[in-house]
Amino acid sequence: MAFVLVTGLGAVAATWASAGSARAALLGEAQQRLTGELTARIAAVAAQVSFPPDQGVLERLRAAVGDNTVVSFVDQRAGAGAERAAEALRGGVRERNRLVWQRVDMDGPRLLIGTPVMITGVDGRRMPSGIEVYAVRDLAGTQAQLDELTMAAARTSAIALPLAVLVALLAAGGVLRPVRRVRDTARRLAAGDLDARLPVRGKDELAELAGTVNEMAGSLQHTVAELRRLEADARRFVADVSHELRTPLSTLAAVSEILQGSSAELGPAERESAELAVAATQRLVRLVEELMEVSRFDAGMAQLRVEPVEVGGAIRDCLRARGWLDRVRTELPEPVPARLDRRRLDVILANLVGNALRHGGPPVTVTLRAEAERIEIEVTDRGPGLPESVLPHVFDRFYKADAARSGAEGSGLGLAIARANARLHGGELTAANRQGGGACFRLVLPREAT
């Protein structure tokens, strides 16, 4: 549009500038011709004029100048048709003592001319004689030429404008077409098509840009391929290690249970060591289970097992199984039926409530709200809340806000797994701070998970 506008305006401006110059030249030529004729006629008669002139002299001078002329001397006047010229120009004629003119529209274009009749004194100086001549000359012929010139300019503009627009479009297309190719290639790269490349033609700046974009795309493709390889290796390593640790950890867990059962027979020092070993084994078992769960999500193998669930009852069962009923307040309307994966809902709730009990402040509250299409579960506490620097990372894997929550013993995977399970249901899990203090985790799930 800018190309078209500038080129079109340039063509029209050039056309009308030429027309304006021609118009000024025509008017100047007409003015010079008419004033020249007037002064020549006056000069031809002025040599024969006696001073002071009588009425007959004024009449002869008017007759020599032509119609639409007024000749005046003091209070004498001869002729008619130029009274307006006399009124308009008399001050200028007497003040300047030379010819003056004015273009007016008076039943058509007219040129008003006024001039003093000059005489030569005995000392050779020219001076006004007191006779003044005022005339009106018709500019209709010149106006007809100007109208024709204007029409010619309009026709020229009408022809030049489409041509200018065509040239502008061609020029703009030559510039914008490569830019559009760069844009389209950038969009393909952003969409994940790392094989997208630009054709390089010529040696101008756009060709250099295309070459640079291709180099960037090649470097990006290499980097992404390397990162994907490293990520795949890391995921495979986690999955393999978790799988390999599962069997020996099962053995350790069985031994720790036996050790825990016989701890009453041990001395104080041995009992404390046994309890530490049991706790460490349990944490290691939980970590391996969480790593295996993460591996299933990464591999795309996590699937929902949807079944009818009474959500309020599922929340109470989760708290009862972990001995949290007396530590957690609940606000649960009944009944709230839904179709969800009960095990994954239990994992989400266990992570949220356990996180609130470990890091928040009492009371911890679980609130259930139900709508026609979805359910909403809030887990809140009255602790110090989440620092602003922590909020964007609270669901990141292995992230621990040690500065804000000292003594954290978790793996840093619980909240990441909870969000992954929420999204697997087609829902969402978010974190925020309460206005009165404390953290608030909000779980939104559809009532009919698919």
The CATH number of residue 390's host domain is 3.30.565.10
The conformation of residue 123, written as its DSSP 8-state character, comes to T
Same domain, 283 and 311: no
**Any domain includes 157:** no
Same domain, 439 and 385: yes
Same domain, 311 and 286: no
Domain of 397 in residue numbering reads as 307-446
The CATH number of residue 282's host domain is 1.10.287.130
The CATH number of residue 56's host domain is 3.30.450
**Any domain includes 170:** no
Same domain, 138 and 259: no
Residues with Cβ within 8 Å of residue 293, at least 6 apart in sequence = 302, 347, 413, 417
**Any domain includes 201:** no
Residues with Cβ within 8 Å of residue 168, at least 6 apart in sequence = 3, 4, 6, 7, 8
Work out the number of other CB atoms within 10 angstroms of the CB of residue 32: 10
Residue 385 has phi, psi (to 5 degrees) of: 85, -175
Q: Which of 147, 162, 186 is the last residue of a domain?
A: 147
Same domain, 96 and 6: yes
pTM summary value: 0.49
**Any domain includes 156:** no
Sequential DSSP letters for 184-223: HHHHHHHTT-TT------SSSHHHHHHHHHHHHHHHHHHH
Residues with Cβ within 8 Å of residue 428, at least 6 apart in sequence = 419, 422, 443, 444
Q: Which two tokens stand for residue 262?
A: 């016989």
Q: Which of 102, 121, 147 is the last residue of a domain?
A: 147
**Any domain includes 10:** yes
330/337 Cα distance (integer angstroms): 17
Three-state DSSP class for residue 407: coil
Same domain, 390 and 362: yes
Q: What is the pLDDT along the chain (450 residues), one digit of tens a residue?
A: 776 677 777 777 777 777 777 777 777 788 788 888 878 887 777 767 777 777 887 888 888 878 878 888 887 887 787 677 777 877 877 888 888 878 877 777 777 888 888 777 667 677 777 888 888 887 777 777 777 777 877 777 777 777 777 877 787 777 778 888 888 888 888 888 888 888 888 787 878 888 888 889 889 888 888 888 877 776 676 666 666 676 776 777 777 777 667 766 667 777 777 777 777 777 777 777 777 777 777 777 788 999 999 999 999 999 999 999 999 999 998 889 999 999 999 999 999 999 999 888 889 999 999 998 999 999 999 988 888 888 888 998 877 765 444 444 566 788 998 999 999 999 999 999 988 889 999 999 999 887
Taking each helix axis from N to C terminus, what angle separates 140-190 and 2-46, rounded to the nearest 10 degrees?
Answer: 160
Same domain, 349 and 441: yes
Same domain, 139 and 69: yes
Sequential DSSP letters for 214-254: HHHHHHHHHHHHHHHHHHHHHHHHHHHHHHHHHHHHHHHHH
The number of domains in the chain is 3
411/396 Cα distance (integer angstroms): 11
Residue from 103, 130, 100, 102 nearest 114 by CA: 100
Same domain, 122 and 32: yes
Same domain, 400 and 428: yes
Q: Which of 130, 147, 164 is the last residue of a domain?
A: 147
**Any domain includes 337:** yes
Instruction: Return the bridge partners of 366, or none.
Output: 330, 379
**Any domain includes 141:** yes
Q: Could you give the angle at the alpha carbon of 372 between the alpha carbons of 366 and 376, nearest 5°?
A: 20
**Any domain includes 195:** no
Same domain, 252 and 142: no
Same domain, 94 and 25: yes
